[in-house]
C-alpha cells in the first residue's frame, strides 16, 4: 500500500510541502539582508512549516520559540537559552554564562543530550532575558547572523506589558542577529509594528502569507491522487471547493479521502463523505466551541454559514436580526482575533470549513 502523501497537524516538510516557491524566494532574500522580518498569516496557513523549511535548508544557525507556550519572564529566558545549547557546544557557552547578572541552573542530561535550564522561578526580573538575548548577539556576527524566530509574537503582552519596550531596546543594538517575528493575529501584529507609539514601530519588513493559489494547489493534489485513482481531477476540484484552498484543511480532507480510496475504492461522493466524517469526528469539539459564543456571535456565524451575504449588509441583518452595524462589526473583529474568522481584503470568512459545515448540518437536524 502506498504511503499517504498528505500531512496535517504538524510541521509539513519534504514531499508533503505544497508549493510556496514565490514566498520562499522573497523570504530568503529578506534573511540574506540585515533586516528583520515580520511574517503575518492566520493560524494553520503554514507559516511555521514555511520558515522552518527555509531555515533548515540553509546554512543558517537559528533558534525557534513559540511565545504561546511561554508562561513567564524567566521561562522566556530559560527556553531561549536551552535552544542556544542545542546549536553551540556546552564548553563554548560555559564561560559566557558566568558573566550573566543572574546565574541560571544548567544541567546537561547525558542520555538525551538536552540541557535543562532554570532561572529563579516566578521572578518578574527581565535581566535574565536581556542577558540571553545579548549572548545570542555575541555568538553571531554581521557575516554569519543567527536567525531568531519568535512565533505568535503578539503573546508577549500576556507575559509582561513592559516586555516590548525592553526587547526593542536590546534588539535594536544587535548586528549579529536577524529577528523573525511571526503572528496569527494580524490586527495585534500590525499594531505592534505599525503604530507610531509602539516600541517596535517599523522594526522590520512586513510580509503577509495568504492562501496557496488554486492554480498551484490543484497540481499538487492532481499529482498525488493520480497515483491511485483515475478521478484525480474531480477529486481535486471537489476538495478545493470545500476548503477554498486553505492549506491545513485541504491537507486534512485530502488525507481522509486518500485513506478512503485505499480502503474502500472510489465513490462519486467520496469527498462529501470524507468531509462529513471529519465533521463527525470533531462534533464534541465544535459543540464546546459553539457554547462559548454569545447570541450575536451565533447569529453572525449562522448567517455566514448559510449564505455568502456580507454580515455587514442590511440584507444580512434583515435575515438574521444580527443587530446594529457597530455591534456586528465588533463581533467580526473579536471573532477574527480569536481565529474563528479570517479577514481577506474587506470580507470575512469562517476559518474552518468543517465548523461551517457542522453549523449547517446541525440546523438541518
The last residue of a domain, from among 281, 303, 322 = 281
Please provide the distance, in angstroms rounded to a whole number, between the alpha carbons at the two ends of the chain.
38
Choice between 1 and 313, residue whose per-residue pLDDT is larger: 313
Q: DSSP letter at 307?
A: -
Q: Are residues 331 and 360 in the same domain?
A: yes
Residues 165 and 39 in one domain: yes
Q: Which of 8-17, 124-133, 212-221 has the lowest mean pLDDT?
A: 8-17
Considering the domain boundaries, does residue 163 fall inside one?
A: yes
Residue 263 forms part of a structural domain: yes
Residue 14 domain-assigned?
A: no
pLDDT digit string, tens, across residues 79-92: 999 999 889 887 78
**Per-residue confidence (pLDDT) for residue 95, from 0 to 100:** 81
pLDDT (tens digit per residue) in 269-321: 999 999 999 999 999 999 999 999 999 999 999 999 988 888 888 888 877 77
pLDDT attached to residue 108: 76
Residue 199 included in any domain? yes
Give per-residue pLDDT as tens, 137-183. 999 998 899 999 999 999 999 998 889 999 999 999 999 999 999 99
CATH number of the domain that residue 312 is part of: 1.10.10.10
Q: Which three cell numbers stand for residue 242?
A: 470545500
State which of 281, 298, 326 marks the end of a domain.
281
Same domain, residue pair 251 and 103: no
**Segments forming the whole domain that contains residue 334:** 285-364
* Any domain includes 5: no
Calpha distance 227→91 (Å, rounded): 51
| Per-residue model confidence (pLDDT) at position 316 | 84
Let me know whether 161 and 196 are in one domain: yes
Does residue 57 sit in the same domain as residue 146?
A: yes
Cα dihedral 273→275→278→279 (10° resolution): -100
Same domain, 274 and 295: no
Burial class of residue 67, CB neighbours in 10 A (0-12, 13-18, 19+): buried
DSSP assignment letter at 155: G
99 and 183, same domain (yes or no): yes
Q: Which residue has the higher pLDDT, 326 or 64?
A: 64
Same-domain check for residues 153 and 80? yes
Which pLDDT band, with edges at 50, 70 and 90, does 17 fall under? Answer: low
Looking at the fold, whether 135 and 254 belong to one and the same domain comes out as: no
Q: HEC states along 250-264? A: HHHHHHHHHHHHHHH
Tally of domains in the chain: 3
Cell matching residue 292: 462559548
- The answer as to whether 115 is a domain residue is yes
Region at 113 (left for phi over 0; alpha for psi -120 to 50; beta for the rest):
left
Share of the chain above pLDDT 90, in %: 52
- Supply 47's cell numbers: 507559516
Q: Judge if 36 and 170 occupy the same domain.
A: yes
pLDDT of residue 122: 60
pLDDT of residue 345: 77
Q: Please give the average per-residue pLDDT across 132-141, as a whole number.
A: 94
Residues 302, 266 share a domain = no
- Average pLDDT value for residue range 27-38: 88
pLDDT over 60 (residue 14):
no
- In this structure, are residues 252 and 18 in contact, taking their beta carbons and an 8 Å threshold? no
* Alpha-helical regions (H) of the chain: 21-31, 47-56, 73-87, 90-97, 127-139, 156-159, 163-171, 186-194, 214-225, 232-243, 247-264, 270-281, 283-290, 295-306, 314-320, 325-337, 353-364
| Residues forming a β-bridge with 115 | 108
3 state DSSP class of 154? helix
* In a domain? residue 12: no
Tens of pLDDT along 179-231?
999 998 888 899 999 999 999 999 999 998 888 888 888 999 999 999 999 99
The residue from 249, 281, 313 where one domain ends is 281
- The mean of the pLDDT values for the chain is 88
Same domain for 57 and 93?
yes
pLDDT at 64 over 70: yes
Q: What is the pLDDT of residue 250?
A: 94
C-alpha cell at 145: 547572523
Residue 91 burial class via C-beta count within 10 angstroms: exposed 0-12, middle 13-18, buried 19 and up: exposed
Write out the three cell numbers for 51: 520558515
CA distance 222 to 237: 9
CATH number (domain holding residue 192): 3.40.50.300
Whether 153 is in a domain gets the answer yes
Amino acid at each position: 500500500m502506498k504511503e499517504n502523501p498528505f500531512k496535517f497537524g504538524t510541521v509539513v516538510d519534504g514531499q508533503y510541502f505544497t508549493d510556496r516557491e514565490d514566498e520562499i524566494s522573497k523570504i530568503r532574500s529578506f534573511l540574506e539582508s540585515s533586516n528583520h522580518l515580520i511574517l503575518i498569516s492566520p493560524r494553520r496557513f503554514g507559516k511555521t512549516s514555511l520558515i522552518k523549511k527555509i531555515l533548515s535548508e540553509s546554512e543558517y544557525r537559528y533558534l525557534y520559540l513559540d511565545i504561546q507556550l511561554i508562561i513567564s519572564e524567566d521561562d522566556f529566558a530559560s527556553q531561549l537559552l536551552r535552544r542556544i545549547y542545542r546549536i553551540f557546544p556546552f564548553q563554548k557557552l560555559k564561560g559566557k554564562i558566568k558573566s550573566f547578572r543572574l546565574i541560571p541552573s544548567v544541567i546537561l542530561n547525558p542520555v538525551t543530550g538536552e540541557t535543562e535550564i532554570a532561572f529563579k522561578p516566578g521572578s518578574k526580573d527581565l535581566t535574565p532575558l536581556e542577558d540571553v538575548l545579548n549572548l545570542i548577539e555575541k555568538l553571531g556576527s554581521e557575516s554569519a547572523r543567527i536567525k531568531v524566530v519568535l512565533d505568535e509574537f503578539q503573546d508577549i503582552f500576556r507575559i509582561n506589558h513592559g516586555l516590548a519596550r525592553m526587547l526593542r531596546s536590546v534588539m535594536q543594538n544587535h548586528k549579529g542577529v536577524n529577528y523573525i517575528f511571526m503572528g496569527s493575529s494580524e490586527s495585534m501584529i500590525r499594531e505592534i509594528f505599525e503604530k507610531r507609539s509602539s516600541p517596535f514601530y517599523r522594526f522590520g519588513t512586513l510580509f503577509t502569507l495568504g492562501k496557496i493559489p488554486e492554480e498551484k494547489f490543484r497540481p499538487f493534489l492532481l499529482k498525488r491522487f493520480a497515483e491511485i485513482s483515475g478521478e484525480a481531477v474531480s477529486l481535486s476540484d471537489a476538495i478545493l471547493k470545500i476548503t477554498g484552498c486553505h492549506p491545513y484543511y485541504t491537507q486534512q480532507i485530502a488525507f481522509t479521502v486518500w485513506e478512503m480510496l485505499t480502503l474502500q475504492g472510489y465513490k462519486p461522493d467520496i469527498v462529501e463523505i470524507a468531509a462529513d466524517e471529519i465533521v463527525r469526528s470533531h462534533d464534541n469539539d465544535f459543540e464546546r466551541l459553539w457554547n462559548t459564543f454569545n447570541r450575536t456571535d451565533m447569529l453572525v456565524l449562522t448567517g455566514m454559514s448559510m449564505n455568502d451575504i456580507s454580515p455587514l449588509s442590511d440584507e444580512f441583518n434583515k435575515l438574521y436580526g444580527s443587530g446594529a452595524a457597530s455591534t456586528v462589526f465588533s463581533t467580526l473583529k473579536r471573532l477574527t482575533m480569536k481565529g474563528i474568522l479570517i479577514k481577506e481584503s474587506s470580507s470575512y470568512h469562517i476559518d474552518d470549513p468543517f465548523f461551517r459545515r457542522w453549523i449547517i448540518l446541525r440546523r438541518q437536524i
